[in-house]
Amino acid sequence: MSGFEFAFSLFGLVLGLAMAEVLAGFVRVLKARTESANKRRKIRIGWMTPTLGAIVIVDLVTAWNLAWRTLQEVEVSVPVLFAGMIETGLYFIAASLVWPDDAKDWADLDNWFDRHKAQIGACLCGASLGFWLLYNASGIYSGFPPALAPYVIACAALVFTRTRRQSAAALAVLAGCLTWVVGISTLELMDWLPGITGGLVPASQ
């Protein structure tokens, strides 16, 4: 096993567990909502918590991609492993806080969002900046990606927002930044397809 395979297996495991936390939390909420409906109690999911959960999942996917690119260029060492564990650990904490452990205790999940948005925003902010530092240290990229500044600012804003309208604006910025990143990555993939498929698939127009 190469150093890259060793390190990526560790970070990939933590990122995968983080993604499973978000998905499992959503399933728990759906089950609790069905059970509560049968008992004539209603759990309001709202849209803020699901939106934040979707943002965390997309961020995890992009982080996984960055980890793949970075670790191929960085010499694996104890400091690199610790740095990677801090970054992926922040993602895991954020993912674990998206949904409540027992949704039956929360009649309105927007209230859960209000209570935990600050911790999630702080974790996403720290993880994003950390991966940017590792990405620059690897020599793959130098500079500040256009979408990173508004993304980090919006993550930090979740720590300080006082109204749901302010929080909704921060979520809109986060969703817009990730949409831009995914769009750019998709265009890059379309340009790579001819090489991957031996020229059977035409490059993007």
Q: What is the pLDDT of residues 91-127, one digit of tens each?
A: 999 999 999 999 888 889 999 999 999 999 999 999 9
**pLDDT bucket at 188, cuts 50 / 70 / 90:** low
Q: What is the pLDDT of residue 193?
A: 45
Greater confidence (102 vs 143) lies with 102
For residue 40, give Cα distances in angstroms to 43, 156, 199: 10, 39, 59
Does the pTM exceed 0.85? no
Greater confidence (205 vs 58) lies with 58
Greater confidence (36 vs 141) lies with 36
**pLDDT bucket at 1, cuts 50 / 70 / 90:** low
Q: What is the pLDDT of residue 199?
A: 39
Mean pLDDT of the chain: 83
Residue 160 has pLDDT above 90, yes or no: yes
Beta-bridge partner residues of 44 = 108
Q: What is the pLDDT of residue 191?
A: 58
Greater confidence (97 vs 76) lies with 97
**Do residues 53 and 26 make contact, with C-beta atoms less than 8 angstroms apart?**
yes
User: Percentage of the chain with pLDDT > 70?
Assistant: 79
- Cα angle for residues 161, 163, 167 (degrees, 5° grid): 55
Query: What sign results for the dihedral spanned by CA atoms 8, 9, 11, 13?
Result: positive
Highest mean pLDDT among 67-71, 177-181, 194-198: 177-181
Residue 196 has pLDDT above 50, yes or no: no
**pLDDT bucket at 184, cuts 50 / 70 / 90:** confident
Mean pLDDT across the stretch 132-154?
A: 76
